[in-house]
Amino acid sequence: MGSLAAVLRHPDDLYPLLKLKMASRQAEKQIPPEPHWAFCYSMLHKVSRSFALVIQQLGTDLRNAVCIFYLVLRALDTVEDDTSIPTDVKVPILIAFHRHVYDREWRFSCGTKEYKVLMDQFHHVSTAFLELGKGYQDAIEDITKRMGAGMAKFICKEVESIDDYDEYCYYVAGLVGLGLSKLFYASGTEDLAPDSLSNSMGLFLQKTNIIRDYLEDINEIPKCRMFWPREIWSKYVNKLEDLKYEENSDKAVQCLNDMVTNALMHVEDCLNYMSALRDHAIFRFCAIPQIMAIGTLALCYNNIEVFRGVVKMRRGLTAKVIDRTNNMTDVYLAFYDFSNILKPKINKNDPNATKTLSRVEAIQKACMDSGVLNKRKSYIIQSELRHSSTMIVIFFIILAIIFSYLSSTRASK
Ligand code: IN0
């Protein structure tokens, strides 16, 4: 019912939504016949619906490597996330995970729902991993080793300073960027990107997730998980969980805006990383999550709902991003538009207003300097405005028809 209302409100979502649904069905039909690859690809579809589609569009060898990399990381994440595993059991698993991927016999049951299935049948992932080219295996092993060690370090360490926050995000997401850049390079289609830019790609995504998932993480049972750095939240409240209480709403929103401003710092690096990509499928694979992230930040900024429930881009807008992201012009337009949505939400009384505004303006300048902005109208948001005015016109036409029908029936009586 909710999705019907959303489509009625945004009728131009319908076509990209249908296209996404059909592409999804098509991709699910193309699951490989070998049982281990069949398991890996159907698992990929279960754990990440729209992202799986974009992975599916990569060339065969790279696609297989990214699929396995994604599942190995999800498995590592499942061990890290499972708050019911005692620390003395968890830490050695995280540290040795890069060796487990070579062992078809290894198994450790944890997690819930589809993640439990992934862990219980991890031998399929190991079997598929062992069929990858050596260049891909080495890259996945190296990143898994560094990430597992980093996660183990943070099991007993809180995220206190902004440096800790950047370090934690480097382990869980920046390293994913470094790993993906290595996989792209190993595929022979891309140059090796600088580590600092690859890191920023991961940090921008992960910081957006951490901001969006505040409530889910704080309410985690049996133990809450805290990733917002004390150095930021302690300026506003005494305890991180105080942000969710209604009496602290003003402080909560200021703290949220501080976090968003911090995340925006990585945007220029991300734009530089994406502008160097040459392969169309790799480009889409990288650009779609980045556009989703800036869209999510624009939605979350100054929005108390982050502390009340789930704030997510609607499915129709996600479908549009997947349908219409093809080149750097699309990326600059999307970043420009989403920062234009955020900009008027900056309240001059917010303690970080000047800083946020200068970040937003720097992003907009980077987009403008690309020289492509005047060539084309926005590809997502302008069409939203155009369609809402179309809807108003249609509404008045229907009203006029009803009115004339009623007047004619009254006249004939
Ligand atoms: C990712 C990233 C990802 C994609 C492309 C390039 C990247 C470069 C650097 C770092 C990460 C990069 O993208 C996914 C996106 C994703 O999973 N989206 C979810 C939606 C959601 O809200 O979670 C979906 O279901 O579609 C991502 O978030 N991460 C990820 C993990 C592994 C790989 Cl191989 C690529 C997770 C994270 C923590 C941000 C790195």
pLDDT score for 231: 98
pLDDT score for 12: 85
Q: Which of 24, 176, 204 to mutate to test the pocket of ligand 1 (most atoms within 8 A of CB)?
A: 176
In Å, what is the CA distance from 385 to each residue of 10, 49, 148, 335, 377? 10, 28, 46, 17, 12
Q: Is 97 found in the same domain as 85?
A: yes
Domain end, chosen from 113, 134, 157, is at: 157
Pocket of ligand 1 contains residue 70 by CB under 6 Å: yes
Catalytic positions, written as ranges: 168, 212, 225, 285
Domain end, chosen from 125, 157, 189, is at: 157
The model carries a pTM of 0.91
Q: Is 261 found in the same domain as 198?
A: yes
Q: Is 190 found in the same domain as 101?
A: no
Q: How far is the CA of 101 from the centre of ligand 1 (A)?
A: 20
Pocket of ligand 1 contains residue 135 by CB under 6 Å: no
H-helix or E-strand containing 284? Answer: helix 280-300
Q: Is 193 found in the same domain as 108?
A: no
Asked if the structure places residue 122 within a domain, the reply is yes
- Distance between CA atoms of residues 380 and 10, nearest Å: 12
Q: Which parts of the chain register pLDDT below 50?
A: none
Q: How far is the CA of 251 from the centre of ligand 1 (A)?
A: 30
Q: Ligand 1, atom 14: nearest CA belongs to which residue?
A: 289
pLDDT score for 387: 60
Asked if the structure places residue 82 within a domain, the reply is yes
Q: Is 255 found in the same domain as 363?
A: yes
Asked if the structure places residue 164 within a domain, the reply is yes
Instruction: State which residues form the domain around 282.
Output: 160-368
pLDDT score for 206: 98
Phi and psi of 346, rounded to 5°?
A: -75, 120
pLDDT score for 272: 98
Q: Which atom of ligand 1 is nearest to the CA of 173?
A: 40
Q: Is 199 found in the same domain as 299?
A: yes
- Classify residue 107 by its DSSP letter: -
Pocket of ligand 1 contains residue 177 by CB under 6 Å: yes
- The residue written with tokens 């690809």 in the block is 41
Q: Is 135 found in the same domain as 247?
A: no
- Distance between CA atoms of residues 266 and 203, nearest Å: 7
Pocket of ligand 1 contains residue 286 by CB under 6 Å: yes
**Torsion region of 307: left, alpha or beta (phi above 0 gives left; psi -120 to 50 gives alpha):** alpha
Q: Is 128 found in the same domain as 259?
A: no
Asked if the structure places residue 326 within a domain, the reply is yes
- Distance between CA atoms of residues 9 and 228, nearest Å: 35
Q: What is the CATH number of the domain that holds 48?
A: 1.10.600.10
Q: Is 352 found in the same domain as 204?
A: yes
Asked if the structure places residue 214 within a domain, the reply is yes
Domains contained in the chain, number: 2
Q: Is 170 found in the same domain as 301?
A: yes
Pocket of ligand 1 contains residue 180 by CB under 6 Å: yes
> What is the distance of C-alpha 285 from the center of its chain?
12
Q: Is 168 found in the same domain as 151?
A: no
Q: Is 268 found in the same domain as 192?
A: yes
